[in-house]
Amino acid sequence: MIELRPTDAEEGLRLDAWLAGHFPSVPRTAVRRLLETGGVTTPDGHPCAKGERVRKGGCYLLKQAPSVAKVVPNPALPLRIVYEDGAVLALNKPAGMDCQPNAPDETDTLANAVLARFPEVGGVGDGPLTCGILHRIDRDTSGLVLAARTQAVYAALRAQFSAHAVDKRYVALVSGTVRAPGRLEHLLAHNPRYPGRMVDASVWHDAKRPMRAVTSYTPVRTLRVEGCPCTLLDVAIRTGVTHQIRAQLSFAGMPIVGDRRYGGFVPEGFPRHFLHARSAAFLHPESGASMLLEAPLTEDLEALLRRG
């Protein structure tokens, strides 16, 4: 049992953030998991919640220290490699797979597959669960994900992402007929009332920490799916906010087909949203050469297009 007492200056901090400060080498997800499983209590045995505030003079008991999460290699997972060299990996992630685990017992993510094939990525990134993966796409979004094989390459490519110098392009099928290209700019924030959904912070004034999101789109062709008019879009983003494309297109009246969370039309038997990370353009971190890497559209998306 570990006993921790806050100082006067720490009063009012969120409990999960305060605990994370005591274990700087441990991912915050491990701290939250300890809280969610009743691993932190008051002296009388009352379990503590992650969002509660630290109390002056309080005492918190930890059944154990939060463990350092490590990714477990899983060679049984398929790994679709689009490109590889000694510095960079480009992977075609299937829908239904997370990019990285949120806890040590998760073994079915892209990171688990990458680590099994390329063990050197185990120490690459900004945390123990990164495994060299440079950016994330949603669980039910398929397509291109970049990874670095060394820490120096990771730092160089992350600098390009931070400078909005990586041109990421997606394919999206949206409801309605879109006749002209457009550009969307919003301040997105996590929904304060419904976790797991983004909102327009200019409308939701109680939303915290808004993030600028810019998305451009160009119509490729129109079609009808089960009698519903739809448009296939080429989408480009340089910012990388959670659910950026899905939320912005929905706010503009063009929800992505199959996207239940943001009001998309759902074709019969289609289990996910029609969004695919098609390509990324960047400068190679070692040679400086211009790179354009592409991941082909997945069979389930191709099959839906054939239905139109």
pLDDT tens for residues 32-41? 878 888 888 8
Phi and psi, residue 299, nearest 5°:
-65, -35
Q: How far apart are CA 237 and CA 295, in angstroms?
A: 16
Using alpha carbons, select from 237, 188, 244, 246 the residue that is nearest to residue 217.
Answer: 237
- Measured CA to CA, the distance from residue 240 to residue 230 in angstroms comes to 25
Q: In terms of Cα–Cα distance, which of 131, 135, 106 is closest to 118? A: 131
| More confident call, 135 vs 45 | 135
Burial of 196 (0-12, 13-18, 19+ CB in 10 A): exposed
pTM: 0.80
* Of 98, 105, 126, 138, catalytic: 138
Helix, strand, coil percentages for the chain (3-state, nearest 5): 20, 30, 50
The pLDDT, as a whole number, for residue 54 is 85
8 annotated active-site: no
pLDDT mean over 66-70: 70
* pLDDT for the residue 271: 93
Determine the average pLDDT of the residues in 196-222: 88
SS3 151: helix
